[in-house]
Amino acid sequence: MTPAGRVVAALRRQGGSLAVAESLTGGALSGALVTVPGVSAVLRGGIVAYATDLKEQLLGVDGELLAAHGPVHPEVARQMAAGAADRLGADHAIATTGVAGPGAADGAPAGTVWVAALGPG
């Protein structure tokens, strides 16, 4: 079973729901999830907020945090996940942010990746 399949199966067993907030992955995470049969029972939706201003506008990431640290920061990932869960009405969320490269961006070297997972408790 794929990692996406394991996530979907676990959420189905517990009656959970999932929201996704993507920057670095640009929709690829949601794309992987929707290949899993039965995903519609758990996936509420996803927000691809590639641009920094959209992280604030669509996901509620703190503007001062973005101004101080840029979009590639662990707290940005956490706030993206929280924003997706809130805005899409899910009890679990996954968020991705980072720099794919080839060079540095927003003060972070290529290969920097932050992933946040949010769930009840």
pLDDT tens, residue by residue, 28-46: 999 999 999 999 999 999 9
pTM for the structure as a whole: 0.95
115: its two tokens: 């992933």
Please, are residues 23 and 47 in contact by the beta-carbon 8 Å criterion? no
Q: Phi/psi at 28 (nearest 5 deg)?
A: -65, -35
Phi, psi of 78, rounded to the nearest 5 degrees:
-60, -45
Each residue's pLDDT tens digit, 74-98: 999 999 999 999 999 999 999 999 9
Question: Is 107 within 8 Å of 86 (Cβ atoms)?
Answer: no
- In 9-98, beta strands by DSSP E: 18-22, 43-48, 92-98
Percent of the chain with pLDDT over 90: 93
pLDDT digits (tens, 9 = 90+) for 8-22: 999 999 999 999 999
Q: Which residues contact 93 (CB under 8 A, 6 or more apart)?
A: 18, 19, 20, 21, 81, 82, 84, 85, 116, 117, 118, 119
All structural domains of the chain, each given as residue ranges with its CATH number in brackets, are 3-118 (3.90.950.20)
Written as one letter, the residue type at 19 is A
Q: In whole angstroms, what is the distance from residue 45 CA to residue 35 CA?
A: 14
